[in-house]
Amino acid sequence: MSLATLYTRAVIGVEAPLVTVEVHLSGGLPQMAIVGMAETAVKESKDRVRSALINAQFDFPASRITINLAPADLPKGGGRYDLAIALGILVASGQIPAAALRDTEVMGELSLSGELRPVQGVLPAAMAAQNAGRTLLLPSANAEEIGLLTECQAFAADHLLTLCGHLRGQAPLLPVPTQRPEAIHIAADMADIKGQPQARKALEVAAAGGHNLLFFGPPGTGKTLLASRLPGILPALSTAEALDVAAIKSITGQAIQWGQRPFRAPHHTCSGAALVGGGSVPRPGEITLAHHGVLFLDELTEFNRSTLDVLREPLESGEIVISRAARKTTFPARFQLVAAMNPTPGGYGANDQRSRGYTPDQLQRYLSRLSGPFLDRIDLYVEVPTVPPQVLQGRTAGEGSAAVRERVQRAWERQQARQQKQNRDLTSTELYELGMLAPEQRQLIIDLAERFRLSARAQHRIEKVALTLADLEGATSITKAHLIEALNLRQLDRLGVAT
């Protein structure tokens, strides 16, 4: 047989489109050509494949070898196609049976000695192969990722000879076992926080409703400490969410920590492309790495304003679309934003004696580093004041994360039973149709909007936060107390920003 057809997968964003590898042997001068929009790393695979086959004691055909990677308009990069090309040559030259690769997908990089090296993005490719009902062949170093899928039929090997022995039926391999590990629990505990009752309450509300949160206050008051405790009070990831997080880790080559919500804290010098993703071949940014988790932006005012403004659309849509001349790539970005900042350039409040050297214009220029539309997408603004020394030096520990997480879990369950989504994701129409506001409470929102000049988005966010407060209490409707507390958790006036 001079023609062989195999299947593998590319990685485009978090998707794994099917790639058909066609290998044809024909007469003519011996040479190997790879076509089908192959990048340099793919074209170099012909040298790796040739050396691997020869060193593994296979006959390398003295023929004209043409390899087509279809579809031709799909960009293909990396060494993930080495194994498919090598097996295609062996099938086309009759050294392994074609029937052994029917309904099978293969991926892996080859060393010159024939050893199989791991590749990135195996998990989304395996999920796609599982949905297509095909078996997967891959390097042993990637087997741990495949073990996360309970219904994927896969075989792993560490050398080309071992894999070919399996395909010939000489030494069959055992299927990759399912070995989904226990979920990893966050060690950081809310009990470490002393004082700060309002900030603790805001953190619980943010966790219960998925709300975005901004802490502001002097240096050393515990803003970063508070933010780092948020993942520990969030409910456990569902299996689908955990697989989404693991797939993102897979395409970026990071270690998979099963069941753990991501916590990303990029430095304020990061660029817009590093934050949301980009590059000639689009790669995921910090917001995608924080998918189903927390994105913490410390020293918020030190970020470039243009960098922060690129977050405006992902905060609303839960995804980011990277557009290039050839194609568009969509990355998931449903994260929870927590930010921290000082209220003045010197770090202390505008009314503090240590801030007397700043003029009102200087303070306004400092705060104007954050655009109004960006601030409007944050639900909670909470001041974190200095903790009194007697509280800080006391031995009394605060409430632990386990107790807080139980209340948050119950609030999440109420939201799922009522609307199948978190409160933060409710549209204005859905909020109205829930009927959680009595006419007098709706009039109160109108009065508050006129008094504090609230935008339409701000009004809806106050209503969502009030709904979360009601869920935490197990109330069946939003009361006046919930609305007032929701407004008190939006302390923009203390930050010096117009509401």
Q: What is the pLDDT of residues 248-274, one digit of tens each?
A: 999 988 888 888 899 999 999 999 989
Confidence bin at 325 (pLDDT 50/70/90):
low
Q: Is the pLDDT of residue 499 over 50?
A: no
Q: Where in the chain is the domain with CATH 3.30.230.10?
A: 3-167
Q: Are 119 and 80 in contact (CB under 8 A)?
A: yes
CATH number for the domain whose boundaries are 3-167: 3.30.230.10
CATH number for the domain whose boundaries are 190-421: 3.40.50.300
**Highest averaged pLDDT of the listed ranges 131-135, 145-149, 182-186, 279-283:** 131-135
Q: Where in the chain is the domain with CATH 3.40.50.300?
A: 190-421
Q: 463: Cβ–Cβ under 8 A, 6 or more apart, which residues?
A: 431, 437, 445, 478, 483, 486
| From 89-98, 315-324, 486-495, the region with the lowest mean pLDDT | 486-495
Element of type H or E holding 405: helix 401-419
**Highest averaged pLDDT of the listed ranges 11-15, 233-237, 239-243, 336-340:** 336-340
Q: Are 415 and 436 in contact (CB under 8 A)?
A: no
Q: Is the pLDDT of residue 495 over 70?
A: no
Which of these, 192, 255, 164, 125, lies nearest to 400 by C-alpha position? 192
Average pLDDT over the chain reads: 89
pLDDT tens digit sequence for 52-62:
999 999 999 98
Q: Are 101 and 91 in contact (CB under 8 A)?
A: yes
Q: Are 43 and 22 in contact (CB under 8 A)?
A: no
Instruction: Please tell me the pTM assigned to this model.
Output: 0.89
In angstroms, the CA 406 to CA 45 distance is 53
* Residue whose token pair is 């990277």: 322
